[in-house]
Amino acid sequence: MPFNVQEFRSALRYDGARPNLFKCDLTFPTFATARSGGLGGAADRLGLSEKFSFMCRATSLPGSTVNQVPMMYFGRELKFAGNRTFPEWSVTIINDEDFSLRDAFEKWMHALNSHVTNRRSNVAINNAEYQADGFITQYAKNGDITREKRYKFVGLFPIDVSPIEVDWGANDTIEEFAVTFAYQWWESEGTTEITFTNA
């Protein structure tokens, strides 16, 4: 087919999805939101969850991998579909001077395995207590909810909180750090079994 700009324009009906139109949502475990001397609560969790949505500057929509099972037959390799795997999910977070999000992730990981005793905290014994669900929503340019794409990460928990580099010569910058999560699987309306309700 010869090069045809008009056909390309027609194919790109909505002018392409934009990587800067997204939002992340995460509900923190109660123990990760506890203030000094407190037990945390719904207000603390909601406040941190809202802040996370604002401060999560960058991430990625998840990929999809189904492994293959090779079998040999008379010298010919045949390939069959295997099991699905889910690689880690990472987010980049803008750090505020209150360090509230950084503190929450450090508390979350400390409950999973303490720095000194090498034990899990009693508040995180059950996976339902230390695992949470996260969401990433890709928006249309006009905010049309009928064309948005949303993913749900089921049963995630942090496995890495990156260092924050500090430097006397680092002028006109804001600190950032990355958090990497392990999770059980992801779901997406229209491609898996899940149906989201608009929040």
Query: How many folded domains does the chain comprise?
Result: 1
Does 197 fall in a domain? Answer: no
Does 196 fall in a domain? Answer: no
- Residue 51 CA to residue 55 CA, distance in Å, equals 6
Do you know the residue count of the chain?
Answer: 199
CATH number at residue 103: 2.30.110
Residue matched to tokens 């010298």: 75
Domain residue limits at 110: 21-36+44-65+74-188
Does 2 fall in a domain? Answer: no
pLDDT tens, residue by residue, 26-36: 999 999 987 65
Q: Which two tokens stand for residue 38?
A: 């407190």
β-pair type (76-85, 65-73):
antiparallel
pLDDT confidence band for 11 (50 / 70 / 90):
confident
pLDDT tens, residue by residue, 66-122: 999 999 999 999 999 999 999 999 999 999 999 999 999 999 999 999 999 999 999
